[in-house]
Amino acid sequence: MRDTDDVQDWATYIADHLGRRGWEVRDLAAAADISPSVVFRWKNGQVPNIKNARAAAKVLGVPLLEILVVAGIITPEEARASVTAPAGLSGVSDDELVAEMHRRLRRTDGD
């Protein structure tokens, strides 16, 4: 559960970004293609969902991770975690692929 300091941080963050641009709630809403009521709720501390966070990040020109951390959706530690995507098969030689298929087929035959 988030504490009230986190809520104020998110609300302040949004208010600061609006103020720096000289924007009203409707300006951010229009630029991000979201309802003005959503931005009003943000100014009152409600955190964005992922879709709206992504739209806000794009419009505000900030990394999505920044929005997610400030809103308290993820922790700074989670934002710093490295992600390793599995390697695609394009980098695997035919021989390696055939060997892996044989290994898996042998394993299946033994089950």
**What is the structure's pLDDT at 65?**
94
Number of Cβ within 10 Å of residue 111's Cβ equals: 4
Domains of the chain and CATH, by start: 4-80 (1.10.260.40)
Question: Bigger pLDDT: 3 or 37?
Answer: 37
| Calpha distance 38→41 (Å, rounded) | 5
Confidence of residue 1 (pLDDT cuts 50, 70, 90): very low
pLDDT at residue 22 tops 50:
yes
State phi, psi for 10 to the nearest 5 degrees. Answer: -65, -45
Our measurement of the distance from residue 78's CA atom to the centroid of its chain's CA atoms, rounded to an integer in Å, reads 11
Query: Which pair of tokens denotes residue 111?
Result: 């089950």
Confidence of residue 93 (pLDDT cuts 50, 70, 90): confident
DSSP states along 52-69: HHHHHHHHHT--HHHHHH
For 40-81, how does the pLDDT look when each residue is reduced to its tens digit (9 = 90+)? 999 998 999 999 999 999 999 999 999 999 999 999 999 998
